[in-house]
């Protein structure tokens, strides 16, 4: 359990880096003269780098072990996060976010595999939920509240510096703890291309790649562009916007803890199907809110991410890992994350930013509604993987 806690704290720092900037976007946009399209581009740049790193470093961690990749990513995080505050233009901010996205993406698949390796099969859902929930709890639940408080005392450029020391301390703990809990894993096959071809032979992996695209479209659009949606379309104050945005983190935390744990008992497929239905209904409810009712907005956004983040967690964690040989868990997870980030996380905010710029920000929620609806049909085609239930043991052509 000690390994799970350390890995969860690391993923929490990754979440802070990824989503802290979302609440700061309205302030940064005024300072650097950015538009909706620019915000989408910045968000997409990080996702593209995240996906590229997950693809490469996930496979690498299957060969050299989790500890080296995880510790190296945290040290790089600590050395680079302050550069966010040095950006003086759109190009500079895009460059910094791409570098940080590569660091964060390197940590992700290795941390997921290390968590599962430290967990008993019957607790895969519960433990991966604990590890994954910190990304949004810290990044989308606590950081909007922290940002609202810090901006009263310091300028936005200095906020990023706060996380340097915690990242270095956590890198040290990771080296100590993961070194004993997760020995190096050797993947079958001698090169990344062969490994990727192998995991692509599993039907679930192919479906999960498309599903991850859908879940990240919902996540990124309702986080990166939601602050401006609340301020510009619904005319909330900055404080009200911060309160509503915190619902993403708290909803994600609750869903990531409860639904993967429930899948340990009811099965992965059933929980994923029900979660897609819940995501679509919650998005439609959010779209229908035309007033500035803080409670209703908070509840709707909470529900969206309660279900959507559970889908992300099950996709990159138990379902993906249980669909392939154990020696290729990080390779499969990295491949699924890469497709989702490159297209769902990378292109969706760019498309959403252009929709907001040309048609109005009030229409951006139709993009995640469509993506989540597609995800429902993808989940119907999944093969059950929970230990003790019928599962696919062989690649499906």
The tokens for 261 are 């744990």
Q: Which residue has the tokens 């019957």?
A: 122
Between CA 228 and CA 96 the distance in angstroms is 22
Lowest mean pLDDT among 196-200, 274-278, 311-315: 196-200
Nearest to 162 by CA among 376, 321, 17, 306: 17
> Above pLDDT 70, what percent of the chain?
94
Structural domain contains residue 60 = yes
Q: What is the CATH number of the domain that holds 312?
A: 1.20.1250.20
Structural domain contains residue 393 = no
Lowest mean pLDDT among 135-149, 221-235, 347-361, 380-394: 380-394
Beta strands in the chain (DSSP E): none
Is the pLDDT score of 307 beyond 80? Answer: yes
Question: Which class for 46: exposed (0-12), middle (13-18), buried (19 or more C-beta within 10 A)?
Answer: buried
Q: Which residue has the tokens 């050395």?
A: 79
Across residues 181-185, what is the average pLDDT? 43
Between CA 233 and CA 363 the distance in angstroms is 10
Q: Mean pLDDT across the chain, nearest whole number?
A: 84
Structural domain contains residue 385 = no
Between CA 270 and CA 180 the distance in angstroms is 36
Lowest mean pLDDT among 114-118, 252-256, 346-350: 346-350
List of residues 6+ apart from 359 with CB closer than 8 A: none
Nearest to 294 by CA among 227, 236, 348, 345: 236
Structural domain contains residue 354 = yes
Between CA 246 and CA 254 the distance in angstroms is 13
Indicate the number of domains in the chain: 1
Q: What is the DSSP letter of 383?
A: P
Judge whether 104 and 19 are in contact, CB under 8 Å.
no
- Residue 337 sits in which domain range? 2-380
| C-alpha distances in Å from residue 5, one per residue of 47, 174, 257, 271, 318 | 25, 10, 14, 25, 18
The reported pLDDT for the residue numbered 292 is: 63
Structural domain contains residue 389 = no
């Amino acid at each position: 359990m000690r390994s799970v806690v350390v890995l969860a704290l690391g993923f929490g720092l990754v979440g802070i880096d990824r989503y802290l900037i979302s609440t700061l976007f309205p302030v940064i946009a005024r300072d650097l003269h950015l538009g909706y399209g620019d915000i989408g581009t910045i968000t997409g740049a990080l996702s593209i780098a995240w996906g590229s790193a997950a693809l490469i470093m996930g496979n690498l961690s299957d060969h050299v072990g989790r500890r080296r990749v995880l510790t190296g990513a945290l040290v790089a995080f600590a050395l680079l996060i302050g550069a966010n505050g040095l950006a003086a233009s759109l190009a500079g901010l895009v460059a910094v976010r791409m570098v940080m996205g590569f660091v964060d993406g390197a940590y992700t698949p290795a941390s997921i595999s290390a968590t599962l390796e430290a967990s008993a099969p019957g607790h895969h859902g519960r433990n991966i939920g604990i590890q994954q929930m910190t990304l949004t709890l810290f990044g989308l639940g606590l950081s909007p509240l922290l940002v609202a408080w810090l901006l009263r005392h310091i300028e936005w450029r200095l906020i990023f510096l706060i996380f340097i020391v915690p990242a270095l301390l956590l890198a040290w703990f990771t080296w100590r703890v993961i070194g004993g809990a997760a020995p190096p894993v050797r993947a079958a096959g001698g090169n990344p291309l062969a490994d990727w071809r192998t995991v692509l032979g599993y039907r679930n992996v192919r479906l999960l790649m498309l599903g991850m695209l859908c879940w990240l479209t919902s996540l990124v659009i309702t986080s990166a562009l939601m602050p401006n949606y609340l301020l510009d379309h619904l005319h909330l104050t900055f404080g009200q916007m911060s309160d509503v945005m915190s619902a993403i983190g708290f909803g994600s935390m609750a869903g990531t803890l409860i639904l993967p744990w429930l899948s340990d008992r009811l099965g992965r497929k059933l929980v994923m199907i029900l979660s897609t239905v819940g995501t679509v209904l919650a998005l439609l409810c959010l779209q229908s809110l035309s007033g500035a009712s803080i409670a209703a907005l908070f509840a709707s956004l909470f529900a969206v991410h309660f279900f959507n983040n559970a889908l992300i967690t099950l996709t990159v964690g138990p379902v993906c890992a249980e669909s392939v040989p154990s020696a290729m868990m990080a390779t499969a997870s990295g491949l699924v994350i890469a497709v989702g980030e490159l297209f769902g996380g990378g292109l969706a905010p760019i498309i959403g930013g252009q929709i907001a710029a040309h048609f109005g920000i009030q229409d951006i929620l139709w993009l995640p509604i469509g993506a989540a609806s597609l995800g429902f049909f993808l989940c119907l085609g999944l093969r059950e993987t929970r230990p003790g239930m019928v599962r696919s043991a062989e690649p499906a052509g």
